[in-house]
């Protein structure tokens, strides 16, 4: 049923291909195996009637609320947040990470695994990425360095998008040794340090490094992560996709402030993660002649995301009222919702093996800010920014609700409700889950190992691949 749009978003062909979609991934995450016993114990305590998607959205709700507490006390990311708020944010992120890890387990436990589970999980993660990155910046008072804060937050969004870009190209989601689970626990550690020692800890100078603060370590880690992940992503993209003609598939002893260390560390990690994703993209897709799964160009997904990042930077630099510097949290959230919408459309394009459209209705929000600046209207940019935020948030919710409704109607399922399970069937599901070697934390459907690119002539044998990590490379 069409409650939000005059026409359906997904065509019958897209819905058919979505129903045939199989999740494929590979992982080498360091923390996932260590956390597996905790996730197994936790899911065993979850009521059998609780729907997997409801678990996911509850975790996202906790993550958003705890981050908004930080935003309330420090909307400019300069004011010192209460220690309890930092601790609450650490707990909220841990709760989200844990619930995000068991939704797929609950789906297999109840026999309710569907492609909608994967799509819903990735959609929630795209929103969580924005709030997690913003909370880390507020915890270390990065508002005093607006350009760094801009880089940190948009780096997180870009890495998430690149991870799904390479999935669109190669048909398989790939996780490195240092990936989103490690990033989440790093940010949890940052919040705990702020809670124990106070946010002022990040302004202390590091011995023997003049002017270097501890908060800059976040930037260092971001650079490292970006380098580690972008190379493999773009190597896959530029090698060609799986579609036709290479198209897609549709510190002590170191006299500098302590905050510099986490800043540079985060930058470093982000760069490593970005390089990892780009190496996959540059290697080519699984479509004919190295195209994407949709048979489109492997480079085509860069255009929609550029319409998000480029206007965000231009508006930030050209603002006469310094709207970003004065209201960084609201600014990041506004453009973050646009990035989440575009990323969700990329995930839908991948799962339905369909071409991704370049323009999006959410871009009307940034266009308001741009036109207000260009024509020098009398309306204050702060008010226009609020209008932008309201528009893009409602647009994201409208799109997500419509897509979920169409998929639920097609698969004849409910989003937040599962059928009553027969005790005998439940016993069989639990036995199958116990003997199954695959324990994918995020995806509520069968998993197959990623196929080797450029080996169509060889017989492919799909094996279940163990993976418990999250579904993207997240900036610190």
Which residues are known to be catalytic? 122
Take residue 284 and report the two structure tokens written for it: 């080519």
Q: Is 8 exposed, middle or buried (0-12, 13-18, 19+ CB in 10 A)?
A: middle
Packing angle of the helix pair 180-197, 216-238 (nearest 10 deg): 170
Residues 6 or more apart whose Cβ sits within 8 Å of residue 240: 246, 247, 283, 284, 285, 289, 290, 291, 298
Take residue 31 and report the two structure tokens written for it: 């923390």
Cβ-contact 321, 285 below 8 angstroms: no
How far is residue 26 from each of residues 235, 237, 241, 462, measured CA to CA in Å?
16, 17, 18, 12
* 443 SS3 class: coil
Note the Cα 82 to chain centre separation in Å. Answer: 27
Strands (E), 133-277: 173-175, 205-206, 256-257
| Measured distance CA(444)–CA(450) in Å, rounded | 17
| Measured distance CA(221)–CA(186) in Å, rounded | 10
Which DSSP category does 53 fall into? H
Cβ-contact 118, 100 below 8 angstroms: no
| Measured distance CA(327)–CA(74) in Å, rounded | 10
Cβ-contact 258, 202 below 8 angstroms: yes
| Measured distance CA(243)–CA(233) in Å, rounded | 17
Q: Which residues of 351-373 are buried (b: 16+ CB within 10 A; e: fewer)?
A: bbbbbbeeebebbebbebbbebb
Cβ-contact 108, 131 below 8 angstroms: no
- Matching residue, tokens 């905790």: 38
Strand 447-449 relative to strand 205-206, pairing: unpaired
Packing angle of the helix pair 381-411, 364-374 (nearest 10 deg): 160
| Measured distance CA(416)–CA(393) in Å, rounded | 21
Longest dimension (CA), the chain: 68
* 350 SS3 class: helix
């Amino acid at each position: 049923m069409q409650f939000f749009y005059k026409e359906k978003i997904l065509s019958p062909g897209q819905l058919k291909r979505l129903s045939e979609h199989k999740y494929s991934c590979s992982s080498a995450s360091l923390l996932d195996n260590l956390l597996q016993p905790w996730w197994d114990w936790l899911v065993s305590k979850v009521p059998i009637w609780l729907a997997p998607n409801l678990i996911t959205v509850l975790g996202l709700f906790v993550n958003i609320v705890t981050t908004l507490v930080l935003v309330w006390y420090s909307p400019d990311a300069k004011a010192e947040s209460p220690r309890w708020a930092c601790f609450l944010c650490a707990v909220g992120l841990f709760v989200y990470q844990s619930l995000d890890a068991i939704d797929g387990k609950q789906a297999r436990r109840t026999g309710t695994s569907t492609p909608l589970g994967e799509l819903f999980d990735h959609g929630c993660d795209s929103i969580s990425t924005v709030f997690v990155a913003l909370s880390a910046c507020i915890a270390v008072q990065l508002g005093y360095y607006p350009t760094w804060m801009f880089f940190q937050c948009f780096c997180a969004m870009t890495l998430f998008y690149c991870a799904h870009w390479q999935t669109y190209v190669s048909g398989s989601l790939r996780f490195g040794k240092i990936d989103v689970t490690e990033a989440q626990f790093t940010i949890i550690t940052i919040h705990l340090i702020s809670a124990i020692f106070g946010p002022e800890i990040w302004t202390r100078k590091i011995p023997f490094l003049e002017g270097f603060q501890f908060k800059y370590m976040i930037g260092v880690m971001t650079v490292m992560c970006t380098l580690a992940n972008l190379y493999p992503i773009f190597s896959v993209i530029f090698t060609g996709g799986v579609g036709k003609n290479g198209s897609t598939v549709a510190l002590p002893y170191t006299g500098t402030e302590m905050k510099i260390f986490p800043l540079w560390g985060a930058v470093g990690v982000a760069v490593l993660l970005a390089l990892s994703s780009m190496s996959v993209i540059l290697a080519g897709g699984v479509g004919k002649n190295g195209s994407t799964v949709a048979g489109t160009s492997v480079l085509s997904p860069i255009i929609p995301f550029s319409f998000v990042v480029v206007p965000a930077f231009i508006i930030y630099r050209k603002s006469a009222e310094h709207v970003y510097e004065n209201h960084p949290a609201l600014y990041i959230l506004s453009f973050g919702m646009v990035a989440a919408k575009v990323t969700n459309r990329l995930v839908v394009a991948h799962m339905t093996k369909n071409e991704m459209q370049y323009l999006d209705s959410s871009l009307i929000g940034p266009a308001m800010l741009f036109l207000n600046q260009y024509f020098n209207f009398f309306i204050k940019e702060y008010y226009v920014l609020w209008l932008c935020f309201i528009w893009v948030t409602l647009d994201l919710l409208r799109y997500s609700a419509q897509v979920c409704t169409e998929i639920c109607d097609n698969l004849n399922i409910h989003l937040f409700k599962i059928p009553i399970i027969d005790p005998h069937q439940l016993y069989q599901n639990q036995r199958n889950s116990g003997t199954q070697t695959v324990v994918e934390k995020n995806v509520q459907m069968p998993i197959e190992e990623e196929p080797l690119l450029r080996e169509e002539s060889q017989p492919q044998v799909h094996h279940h691949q163990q993976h418990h990590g999250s579904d993207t490379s997240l900036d610190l």
